[in-house]
A and B are shown apart, each in its own frame.
Chain A
Amino acid sequence: MLVIALLVVGLVFFTGGGVGILRFPDFFTRLHPAGKLDTLGSLLMMLAVAIYNLEHFSWEALLTSLKIMLIVLFIFLSSPTATHSIVDAGIRAGMVPWRKETPEEKAE
């Protein structure tokens, strides 16, 4: 049950990430869902897989589950770093972040 719940919630976050990439207006805002909803989504899904793997307990299964949790750890280290470097590359390439029109600009 717990496994199913975790998988479904993780799926919701991944879906949100995908939809967010499509819906947000520019490069920088699109990275927000891409870099972060995926991180939490993968945490939940990996947790689900690790727990499912432990259903019939054995030391080898425990080792495998620990390895799965190591994957999560490295995702948590690398994902923000990667997001940051993509943003940095965008800034260096001279992209201007999208901004909402102020009321004065709308009036013009």
Chain B
Amino acid sequence: MVNREQHEASSQPMGHESGGTTAGQRRGLRNVPACLLTFAILFCLWILLSGRFDAFHLTLGVISCIMVTLFSVDLVFPEGSLQGIGGTWLRFLGYVPWLLYQIILANLHVLYLVFHPRMMDLIEPEIIRFQSKLHSDLSLVTFANSITLTPGTITVYVSVDGDFQVHAIDKKSGEALPGEMEARIARVFGEQ
């Protein structure tokens, strides 16, 4: 098994991106700060979910958190480094209230549509295509989920290079895209 993986890795052309990431994931285990941070997050979650503070449960928690940390540190920090993570999280926390505000506004709009007696005249479903400027997987996923959460629009299809298809329920919901939301997400993930 190991031999075959090595063979595949060596058969890839030099500088190929996927080859680089697998090598990075192998080294991820030795990444101490990322491990510690993952462990801290998991342990907070353990305490929150168990709610017991006696030695037995805390020991169980430490053991299982260490195991899960070893399994999943590569998933939590794919780049294997902490650089820029804190800033991204802070900016993301700043993005959440704005998103909530948008969700409430847009929910009221859909609620108005639902209870409007002449609903059929107001809605105008349409599939919109546009090209997003975002690059990384995480920002694309955030953008797609934000679009779906903002009522009036559902993401139908996203491609890796940012080709979006969005189902909008009326003209007004569709016009707002990509617009401000994309700009804000670009700022959060540092993709100006």
Binding site for B on A (CB under 8 A): 12-13, 16-17, 19-20, 23-26, 28-29, 31-33, 35-37, 39-40, 60, 63-64, 66-67, 70, 76-77, 79-81, 83-84, 87-88, 91, 97-100
Contacts and interface: CB of A to CB of B under 8 A. Distances in A.
Nearest to B119: A23
B105 to A, nearest CB: 11
Contacts of B51: 60, 63-64
B89 to A, nearest CB: 14
A36 B125 contact: no
A12 B111 contact: yes
Contacts of A64: 51
User: Which of B51, B115, B125, B152 has the largest count of A CB atoms less than 10 A from its CB?
Assistant: B125
B110 A31 contact: no
A98 B156 contact: no
Interface residues of B, number: 33
Interface in B148-191: 148-152, 154-157, 167, 169
Interface of B: 48-49, 51, 103-104, 106-107, 110-111, 113-115, 119-120, 123-127, 144-146, 148-152, 154-157, 167, 169
A88 B103 contact: no
Nearest to B158: A84
A12 B103 CA distance: 15
